[in-house]
Structure 1
Amino acid sequence: MGSCCSDQNIQNQFDNHNARVTNLYQETDAQTEEIKKQTPANVTAAQVEYIISDEKREEQENKQEINNVSNDQRIDIYQYVQFVENYKDYLDEQGLINNVKIDQFEKHIQAQLKNILKIPIQNEDGSYKLASGAIYEGKLDENYGKVGKGKLKDKDYEFEGEFQNDLPSGNGKEIRKQVVYEGSFQKGLYDGFGKLSFPNGRVYEGNFKNHQFHGKGELINDDGVRYKGDWENGCLLIGVISYHDGSYYTGSLKGNFFKDGKGTLYNKESMPQYEGLWENDQPKICKVFNIFDNHHIFYDGEMENYAITGKGERFYPDGKYQGQLQRDRKEGKGNMLYSDGAKFEGFWENDLQTKGKYIYNLKNPQFFYDGQWKNGIQEGEGEYKYPSGGIYKGDIKANKRHGFGTYLYSNGNKYVGIWDNNNQQGDGQFYFASENNEHGDVYSGQFEQGKFNGFGNYFYKKSGKQYIGYWENDKWNGIGIFRNKDGKIIKCGEWKSDKFIKDVDEKDVVFPADWENKYKIISDIGEQLQNPQDQDQQ
């Protein structure tokens, strides 16, 4: 655009331009007048006059040109020359704004306006009033940016320290709505070592990065709880939480200072209470220490809401339990190893055994009870196996054989019948062992304190003979009948301690009713005497 530089061309362009812009400035709004008032003296009128909105420009260009223009609306020739030189890239050959580039021109003018409005106003005391209304004491660079040491004060905000590129950088002190930070800044952000104090008493002292706690530091909360350790982007990841009562936690954390991951909670004597894995601020799988017993471990396993719940290992003065627990009570499947060498394997309910195997001593695991329990004692149906080799299967009550049951002796003898307080008591059958695993003699009758006592039927296997009558202490005692293998009576009378005393007529012999069915001899040792309750139902 060299043609725009001669005097005649400039004059012609100036005249044409004044005529065209007369209409443009006639309806300049209050915003333009306000801009003029705030504009420093060294800014040209041309720069101001062309700062109008897109809508206003379109509205003005659609109106008719007005020929009569007052002098104060016209642009000085020298201002116009300066305008042409500064904005020639946006003008056509006639010196008018190129319609194609009008959007770019307006953006350029708006950017200049922003810069104009940023220019601080210097006060009499040497301080500057910024466009925001804040007061600044210090040096400004050529772009009116704050630089070096200075003070900045605004409503609810104060800063004193070092500036660089218009932002706090270096050491300084900031007060923002009673929140005080004193330390290192970088590009206007807390960065480096510093101390941040809140009006409620909360204080953080340590390292910052990008306005967040980052690195090593300590936060003292308004409730007095302390959080110290390694921070990352405002979160304490690994550190120590110290509580009012002197207890403290050390280990991994996540947002909101929740204990999460591996960590240990100590009491005020620095003795551990919970050690292990945490989740959402609660122990998940931990060792729990007894603070009343030299801090020995009394539990190691799963937890829920600080309660011993789940699968774990619980330690007691008399032994160790491994299995399921519910709020520190044995519940579900689990094993208890007792200090005396005994062991229980089975199921629990409300801290008591319900069904399982109790080994009396692991040194002799063949000696055990396997069956039902009630209120912590052996009761119900079960099986005993004794060190002697004897085996009992049947009813149990209060840890004893009681009710209907079968006892197999180690020598092959067997009792099937009623028990009372560990004794054969009532109706039953006793099978004597013989060679070839066949039963020998059989007694079917009444028992007392484990002896044949009362009425009974005794079958002699070898001879086939049979005694039917009364007994006392395993001996014939009272009225009885002795038969041969064919059923013929050998003797009928009264005995005392196995000795025959006198004859009695068979017609005068009185035996219990239905004795033949009740005390019949079962020939097959594999058969067992029926439970009297079952007999009653038949």
Structure 2
Amino acid sequence: QLQKISVDQLNYEAISNTYRGSYLPNLKHGFGRMDAIDGSTYIGNFFRGLRHGKGKITYLSGEQYDGEWQDDVFKGEGAYQTINNEIIFGQFDSLDIVGEGKIIFASGDVYIGQIQNLKAHGQGKCQFIDSSTYEGQWESGHMQGLGTQILENEQYTGDFHHSTRHGNGKLICKDYTYTGQFQNDLMHGNGCIQYKNEIYEGQFFQNLRQGRGIYKYSDQTIYRGDFKNDQRHGHGEILLKTKKVVGNFANDQIDESNVKIYYNNQDFYNGSISCGKPHGTGQMIYSDGSSFSGQWDMGSKIFGTMVHADGQKFSGDMTGAVLMGRIKYPDNGEYEGQLVFGKKHGQGSYNKADLAYDGQFKDDMKHGKGELRTSDGIYIGDFENDKKCGFGYMRLKDGTVWQGKWENDEFCGQSSDEANLVSGRNSKMQLSNQNKLENALMLSKMMEQNRSKSSLLKSPTTKISEQQKKKKKTNKKKKTKNTNK
């Protein structure tokens, strides 16, 4: 039985809407068209005065709905076209879509997923006209939350905010992979970017390495420090296989005028460099406690001061040239003479409280011919590797004299008294303290005996025989007679 409608209601409908179509008594019922006072037009089915069944409504704004109705609202399968020419397909319940729906955007992009208030909302996937895709969470028509975006040459999985990469995510590109923070679609914050053979981990600013970070190069070199505009800039350190270089960087280059180098063997350098080597002015502190301060040339010492671990100090040329110099030692010893690489080498004199040596040196040791004075006596002769070795003469304080062959600081011949001294070597040694009478007598005896060295050298411990003494006396008498004549 049809419901009765009052005259007032009929008059209101007549004033507010225009209807043409099927009627039951006093009710729109069946198929018809209604032009509403708000400018909208509905063409479709009515049931007892309400839009019900299949119908299409067009609003004054241009929006349209074409689909099923129930009790005057969208209900069931339908399609809604928005003012932006977006078309939403799905199961409608008023302005909501039950289950999954589909949106075709004016641009040609297509979304399939959850919809709320005619917008993508919830979980869904969008296929864009440029062949890129996004699948993940949506909110009010925006990519929002966790999702995956696939473009032609890259793939991003992570957080989105208002359809931009924002938060934490992972970006896989052709040449690199980035994992970290994003802001407004850009790498921004803390992150890690990995290339084929290199990796950077640290801070980013709008897609650029900026702030503190660590960069590992393909040759295993590591830079740790400040970055700016994608370059090393500020304070940092380079870790190499054998050393660590610390300094200030600008525009990806280290300031070579002030660098610290920590070597793996515990050596330490502070100064200027060139091509990673000490160059210019700098100081090297070695692991054994010695140090050098002065001028360098591509890693080689040129001129400066060398201080050994025992306190020995040398200042001068370090290039290998033979120079005259002076060294003072911690035990109050002092050397003056020729030097090579800061070592005693060549002719020189060494003196300390109870010892004096004047002669030849090699590699910081007594080597060659020389005179050694100690509290026990004096030795004049050959040295080898800091020891008496070869032919030599030694006179002790008690008058005992040793002359002959020496080896490894040991005498290999016989002893004699000073009166029987002979010498078997021609020595051009320049002895110190020439003014001393004792030294002068000794040298004159050696020179005298050098004239007969050919016979004496046959035995390193030759002792003057009684026969030789008689022969000398006979020659002396003959010489006296000839003089008298």
In the superposition, the TM-score normalised over structure 2's length comes to 0.63
Q: SS of 1:223's equivalent?
A: coil
Q: Which amino acid aligns with 2:19?
A: I
* CA 1:341–1:372: 2 relative to 1, 3 Å: same
Match of 1:358 among 230, 234, 238: 238
Using the TM superposition, give the Cα deviation of residue 131 of structure 1 relative to its aligned residue in structure 2, in angstroms. Answer: 2.9
Quick one: which amino acid aligns to residue 351 of structure 2?
N
CA distance in 2, matches of 1:461, 1:140: 127
Q: Among 64, 88, 91, which residue is 1:207 paired with?
A: 91
Tell me the CA shift for residue 323 of structure 1: 0.6
- 1:273 corresponds, among 126, 131, 155, to 155
- Partners of 2:210 and 2:325 in 1: CA distance: 48
Kindly report which structure 2 residues correspond to 1:41-440, keeping only aligned pairs within 5 A, or say none: 114-115=8-9, 117-118=11-12, 130-132=14-16, 134-140=18-24, 144-153=26-35, 157-177=40-60, 179-197=63-81, 201-212=85-96, 215-237=99-121, 238-255=123-140, 257-268=141-152, 272-284=154-166, 285-290=168-173, 292-293=174-175, 298-350=177-229, 351-352=231-232, 354-361=234-241, 367-374=243-250, 375-377=252-254, 379-431=256-308, 433=309, 439-440=310-311
Q: Distance in 2 between matches of 1:309 and 1:485?
A: 70
Task: Rate the CA distance shift 1:329–1:446 in 2: closer, same or farther, 3 A.
Answer: farther
Change (3 A) 1:204 1:384: same
Look up the SS of the partner of 1:484 in the other structure.
strand
CA shift for structure 1 position 352: 1.4
- Inter-partner Cα distance in structure 1 for 2:321 and 2:214: 41
Q: 1:303 to 1:199 in 2, by over 3 A?
A: closer
Following superposition, the deviation at residue 487 of structure 1 comes to: 13
Task: Report the CA distance between 1:457 and its aligned residue.
Answer: 2.9
Alpha-carbon distance between aligned partners in 1 of 2:324 and 2:76, rounded to the nearest angstrom:
102
Determine the C-alpha separation between the residues in 1 that align with 2:361 and 2:218: 55
Q: Is the 8 A contact 2:290 2:306 kept in 1?
A: no
> 1:89-146: per-residue Cα shift (whole Å, max 9, x none)?
xxxxxxxxxxxxxxxxxxxxxx977336247xxxxxxxxxx333513211235xx332
| In structure 2, distance between residues paired with 1:116 and 1:325 | 71
Contact 1:299 1:314 in 2 (8 A): yes
CA distance in 2: counterparts of 1:333 and 1:201, whole angstroms: 49
**Secondary structure, aligned partner of 1:131:** helix
Conservation of the 8 A alpha-carbon contact between 2:99 and 2:114: yes
Mapping of residues 515-530 of structure 1, within 5 Å? none
Taking a change above 3 Å as real, the CA distance of residues 357 and 473 of structure 1, as seen in their structure-2 partners, is closer
Indicate conservation of the 8 Å contact 1:481/1:491, yes or no.
yes
Structure 2: distance between partners of 1:189 and 1:504: 127
Partner of 2:449: none
CA contact (8 A) 1:287 1:300 kept: yes
Secondary structure, in 3 states, of the residue corresponding to 1:410? coil
Q: Per-residue displacement from partner, 1:161-212 (whole Å, max 9, x unpaired)?
A: 3323522123222233454422112332223220123687532212323235
Give the deviation of 1:345 after TM superposition. 2.7
Mapped pair 1:484 → 2:351: yes
CA distance in 2, matches of 1:279, 1:457: 77
Q: CA RMSD in A?
A: 3.9
- Go from structure 1 to structure 2 and tell me whether the alpha carbon gap of 1:454 and 1:265 turns closer, same or farther (over 3 Å shift): farther
Q: Per-residue deviation at 1:469?
A: 5.3
Matches within 5 A, 1:467-506: 467-468=335-336, 471-474=339-342, 482=349, 484-485=351-352
Distance 2:208 2:129 in 1: 31
Paired residue secondary structure (2:11): helix
- How far apart, CA to CA, are the structure 2 residues paired with 1:443 and 1:307? 60
Distance 1:179 1:307, change over 3 A: closer
Q: Is the 8 A contact 2:44 2:53 kept in 1?
A: yes
Query: How far, CA to CA, are the matches of 2:354 and 2:144 in structure 1?
Result: 87
Contact 2:305/2:313, CA 8 A, preserved across alignment:
no
Q: TM-score, normalised on structure 1? A: 0.57
Aligned length: 362
Shift, 1:218, TM fit = 1.7
In the alignment, is residue 444 of structure 1 matched against residue 338 of structure 2? no
Question: 3-state SS of the aligned residue for 1:224?
Answer: coil
Instruction: Say whether the 8 Å CA contact 1:377–1:399 is kept in structure 2.
Output: no
Letter in structure 1 aligned against 2:142: F
Shift of 1:443: 1.5
AA paired with 1:356? G
Offset of 1:241 from its aligned partner? 2.4
Secondary structure of 2:16's match? coil
Q: Percent sequence identity over matched residues?
A: 24
Please report how far the alpha carbon of residue 504 of structure 1 lies from its aligned counterpart in structure 2 after TM superposition: 12
CA separation of 1:472/1:199 partners in 2, compared to 1, >3 Å: closer, same or farther?
closer
**CA distance 1:336–1:200, shift in 2 (3 Å):** closer
**Equivalent residue letter for 2:269:** Y
Structure 2, unaligned runs of 5 or more: 370-427, 433-485
Q: Which has the higher strand share?
A: 2
Superimposed CA distance per residue, residues 46-92 of structure 1 (whole angstroms, 9 cap, x where no aligned partner): xxxxxxxxxxxxxxxxxxxxxxxxxxxxxxxxxxxxxxxxxxxxxxx
Amino acid at match of 1:406: Q
Indicate how the Cα distance of structure 1 residues 163 and 481 shifts in structure 2: closer, same or farther if over 3 A, else same. same
* Distance in structure 2 (CA, Å) of the matches to 1:453 and 1:136: 123
Q: Partner amino acid for 1:369?
A: V
Amino acid at match of 2:318: F
